[in-house]
Amino acid sequence: MRLAFYPGCSLEGMASDYAESIEAVFRRLEVDLVEIEDWSCCGATAAHSLSEAMAVALPARNIAAAEKLGLDIVVPCANCFNRMRFSQVMIEKGIYDVPWPVTGKIKIHDMTRLLAEEKMLDKISQGTVRPLSGLKLVSYYGCQMVRPPRITGFTDYENPQTLDRLAAAVGAEALDWSYKTTCCGASIGIGRRDIQETLTRKLLIKARQAGAEAIVVSCPLCQANLDLIQAKESGPATPVFYFTELLRLALISGGRPQHWLRKHVADPLPLLREKGVIP
Amino acid sequence: MHEANPNRNAGRRSEDARTRHRIGDRGDHFLKRLEGETGANISACYQCERCTNACPVSPFMDVKPHQVIRYVQLGWRERLLASATVWVCLSCEMCTTYCPNDVGVAETIQHLRKMAARSAIRPRELQLATFHRTFIEELQRFGRVNEFWLMGALNLKPGILKDKLRTGALKEEIELGLTLWRQGKLKLIPHRCKAVGEIRTLVQNRNGENL
């Protein structure tokens, strides 16, 4: 299996740990990721806030590059995925013209749904060498991956299951909770830290109330918000994992997880030691 | 008698306030324009307030999501563009998803934000407004956006650093930067796309088109 890979700007910086774990997991699953050559930023919220024409055109450049390769695209970042799908839909509807040929013949996958497909899920549960049994977690999807449903294609947008299925496949217990798709505040912390902290803290409290020892996410910004807010807290931390980090932990024996799990503020090592996942 | 019953008077005054603003008083130009440009069904709103109840940031908004829709129907353009709401909205799409009449509330607010960014009205949330602009400038500079350079560029914009010094946000930001640096998550040297010229032309041509 070969797929075009669009990492997005975050994965070069604050989510470099996400990028590393994706590389390891896909190599283990024998899926070839071909990074889109000379990819550029999708425009994120800013382009969308200033001009719709720009918000459609910026991702289109990357979609066109993938179409040239003839490969479906897989996107790890929730916002990039949303923007690329938005661009594809708007071009399909003929609302905007773009300077690159975009025919809409390729699919844009968000990474969680791709890996939660039945075949992949079997491969993951069969390939698990280090089951995460006893680990209680809640899955957090955020907004951009699931909403609006007409763009993202999620049918279970109120109670999505992809991350839950993936967590269960590697032996962890995904608990039920009501805040799977409630916004974490996204980038509003840049101008209004108070709003972001209110929203993020609420999620953290609700996750703990549900009995979660950890949170599993798929969005770089959600991870940063939920993790960094814990820098100001004392008491037991609630580690915030990228779902690919859990897969990497479960699928690849050895590989020094103590080393690559260091990039979290909420230290996951004590919890994993307690559960006997790592020595 | 008039002075003897102030309550009745107050009641009458608020009733006046209710009847003073009727849909159509200012014409339907603004409503029609927004419906045309966003494709949102703004006329279909019956003020059930489900959008406001679903919104995670409605407590921080001066004009609540359902009021935004009413204001558009009333043609109150200036109040909307000067509101904090257009900048505080997270585009999380809760309102649109749960609207029973498919009104496209988030799309409407996003469109108003674009209009506000282009208007001469001073944005209520200066830092957030400046952030979006700076993001696009950085995107034009490198083709991709580097978090470290983005925050640096934002701090150099007029008024931002002063504001952050006053609120103590700058100290927090530096501490955050140090944490990320220790974790090896801060990329100091930005990557420049080969096709950055192409992206610059695109942004310059498209920014402003159709708002």
Q: Which amino acid is at B156?
A: L
> Does any domain span residue B137?
yes
Write the CB contacts of B189 (distance below 8 Å, at least 6 apart in sequence). Answer: none
Average pLDDT over residues A74-98: 93
> Does any domain span residue B211?
no
> What pLDDT, on the 0 to 100 scale, is given for residue B167?
87
- Are A60 and A100 in contact by the 8 Å Cβ rule? The answer is yes
Whether residue B12 has pLDDT greater than 70? no
Average pLDDT over residues A74-81: 96
Site from B107, B109, B136 to mutate, A interface, most A CB atoms within 10 angstroms: B136
DSSP state of B122: P
Residue B63 sits in a domain whose CATH number is: 1.10.1060.10
Q: CA A21, CA A224: separation in Å to the nearest integer?
A: 16
- Are A52 and B114 in contact by the 8 Å Cβ rule? The answer is yes
> What pLDDT, on the 0 to 100 scale, is given for residue B211?
45
> What pLDDT, on the 0 to 100 scale, is given for residue B18?
57
Average pLDDT over residues B46-70: 96
Look-up: residue for tokens 């013209």?
Answer: A97
Closest residue in chain A to residue B196, using alpha carbons only: A40
Q: Are both B89 and B174 inside the same structural domain?
A: no
Of A213-217, B22-26, B35-39, B128-132, the range with the lowest mean pLDDT is B22-26
Joined together, the tokens standing for residue A150 give 């007409």
- Are B130 and B160 in contact by the 8 Å Cβ rule? The answer is yes
Q: Where in chain A is the domain with CATH 1.20.1050.140?
A: 2-112
Q: Confirm or reject contact between A99 and chain B (CB < 8 A).
A: yes
Q: CA A77, CA A62: separation in Å to the nearest integer?
A: 14
Site from B34, B50, B81, B90 to mutate, A interface, most A CB atoms within 10 angstroms: B90
SS3 state of residue A180: coil
Q: Which residue range forms the structural domain that includes residue B189? A: 126-206
> What pLDDT, on the 0 to 100 scale, is given for residue B205?
82
Look-up: residue for tokens 């974490």?
Answer: A184
> Does any domain span residue B153?
yes
Strands, DSSP E only, in A103-172?
Answer: 108-110, 136-140
- pLDDT-derived band of residue B74, with 50, 70 and 90 as boundaries? very high
> What pLDDT, on the 0 to 100 scale, is given for residue B100?
95
Question: Which of B117, B144, B175 is closest, CB to CB, to A50?
Answer: B117
Whether residue B1 has pLDDT greater than 50? no
Nearest CA-CA partner of B103 in B128, B133, B142, B70: B70
SS3 state of residue B196: helix
Determine whether the interchain pair A41/B202 forms a contact, defined as Cβ–Cβ distance below 8 Å. Answer: no
Whether residue B85 has pLDDT greater than 50? yes
Average pLDDT over residues B65-93: 95
Look-up: residue for tokens 């024409």?
Answer: A53
Chain A partners within 8 Å of B130 (Cβ):
191
Average pLDDT over residues A37-52: 91
Joined together, the tokens standing for residue B51 give 């959008």
DSSP state of A36: P
Determine whether the interchain pair A41/B139 forms a contact, defined as Cβ–Cβ distance below 8 Å. Answer: yes
The pLDDT tens digits of the residues spanning B129-156 come to 999 999 999 999 999 999 999 999 999 9
Look-up: residue for tokens 């703004």?
Answer: B42
- Are B63 and B21 in contact by the 8 Å Cβ rule? The answer is no
Whether residue B2 has pLDDT greater than 50? no
Instruction: Tell me which architecture the domain covering A2-112 has in CATH.
Output: Up-down Bundle (1.20)
Whether residue B169 has pLDDT greater than 80? yes
Question: How close is the nearest chain B Cα to the Cα of A122, in Å?
Answer: 33
- pLDDT-derived band of residue B22, with 50, 70 and 90 as boundaries? confident
Average pLDDT over residues A79-100: 92
> Does any domain span residue B2?
no
Please report the sign of the dihedral spanned by the C-alpha atoms of residue A79, residue A88, residue A146, residue A19. Answer: negative
The pLDDT tens digits of the residues spanning A160-209 come to 999 999 999 999 999 999 999 999 999 998 888 899 999 999 999 999 99
Look-up: residue for tokens 């008024």?
Answer: B159
Is the pTM above the cut of 0.80?
Answer: yes
Own/partner contacts of B150-159, CB < 8 Å, gap of 24 or more, are B151/A190, B151/B177, B154/A190, B154/B127, B154/B130, B157/B130, B159/B126, B159/B130
Query: Could you report the predicted ipTM of this complex, rounded to two decimals?
Result: 0.91
Q: Give how many domains chain B has, as a whole number.
A: 2
> What pLDDT, on the 0 to 100 scale, is given for residue A147?
92
- Are A144 and A221 in contact by the 8 Å Cβ rule? The answer is no
Whether residue B191 has pLDDT greater than 50? yes
* CATH class of domain segment(s) A131-274: alpha beta
SS3 state of residue A71: coil
